[in-house]
Amino acid sequence: MLLAIDIGNTNIVIGGIRDDKIAFEARIATDHIKTSDQYGVDIKNVLSLFDTKPGDIKGCIISSVVPPVFNSVQTGVRKVIGKPPMVVGPGIKTGLNIQMDTPSQVGSDRIVVAVAALAEYEPPLTLLDMGTATTIEVVGKGNTYLGGCIIPGVRISMEALTSRTAQLPGIRLDRPRQVIGKNTVDCMRSGIMFGAAAMIDGMLDRVEEELGYPTTVVATGGMSQFVVPLCRRKITLDKDLLLKGLNILYKKNTR
């Protein structure tokens, strides 16, 4: 079994992949203070939760956008499975032609999502990853990574709104009942959720206008399941793109 780990700003996704199929998936909170031993215990507990022994893990791959946490997780994994993990970063084979000013600065999670999407969908592609930040990336024909956009995530927007305004309360990000709210909470929920959906629709229109042709749009990330149904554009939801991409990269680099 392959142990695939993606370290995000809010959550760490831990997945087990056997014969190209996701056997399990779990999330733990990203904590900058935890030691490698603590992360090792977390990982071991996740494996135990899904009846998996450390000896069942034949390899591991990690992608990370949180440098302070990466070393602790990497060392923790090594202590648990007794093997050094593969790391998504400069030098790893991706099959992408990255047309960015500084290719090494492209987040590893964005690379992983692009690799996974190309394996399942026909380019040109516009890919949405809605997590702590909302990222939009464009992949053209010939596996060409053209670039994209980085936008504050839905939860960041909500936290900024509630923390910077004295009379607005904290709310749950449920589906709004209507656009025109009749109380403060409904007004906030409508503005945040429908606002995020309208932003996605508008950005997709602008991306395709700049490209000069339509694209297939695929979305992933924790918030996508809540926002995408509110969008007017046709968007395919694929919540497992990160784990699929990590599996592809591991195989591509161990042949």
Would you call 238 a catalytic residue per the annotation? Answer: no
107 annotated as a binding-site residue: yes
Q: Is 142 annotated as a binding residue?
A: no
Residues in the chain: 255
| Residue 12 assigned to a binding site | yes
Beta strand 2-7 with 11-18 is antiparallel
Question: E strand or H helix at 48, and its extent?
Answer: helix 36-49
Catalytic residue among 42, 51, 109, 238: 109
The DSSP letter of residue 122 is P
On whether 71 is known to bind a ligand per the annotation, the reply is no
Residue 123's alpha-carbon distances to 71, 74, 139, 214, 252, in angstroms, are 35, 33, 7, 10, 20
Burial per residue of 140-158, b for 16 or more beta-carbon CB atoms within 10 angstroms, e otherwise = beeeebbebeebebbbbbb
Please indicate if the annotation marks 247 as binding a ligand.
Answer: no
Asked whether residue 110 is marked as a ligand-binding residue, the answer is yes
135 annotated as ligand-binding: no
The two three-digit tokens of residue 28, written as one number: 């733990």
- Say whether 129 counts as a known binding-site residue: yes
**6 carries a ligand binding annotation:** yes
Q: Kindly state the helix (H) or strand (E) to which residue 185 belongs, with its residue range.
A: helix 184-211
254 is in an annotated binding site: no
Rounded CA separation 224/58 (Å): 32
Nearest to 5, CA basis, from 72, 98, 103: 72
Q: Where are the beta strands (DSSP E) in 48-201?
A: 59-64, 86-87, 97-98, 125-130, 133-140, 144-152
Q: Rounded to whole angstroms, how far apart are CA atoms 200 and 211?
A: 16
- Residue 11 annotated as lining a ligand binding site: yes
Phi, psi dihedral angles at 87 (to 5 degrees): -120, 130
224 annotated ligand-binding residue: no
Was 184 annotated as part of a binding site?
yes
Residue 10, annotated as binding a ligand: yes
Binding residues for K(+): 129
Q: Which residues are annotated as a binding site?
A: 6-13, 107-110, 129, 132, 184
Q: Which parts are annotated binding residues for substrate?
A: 107-110, 184
Q: Which residues are annotated as a binding site for ATP?
A: 6-13, 132
Q: Catalytic residue positions? A: 109
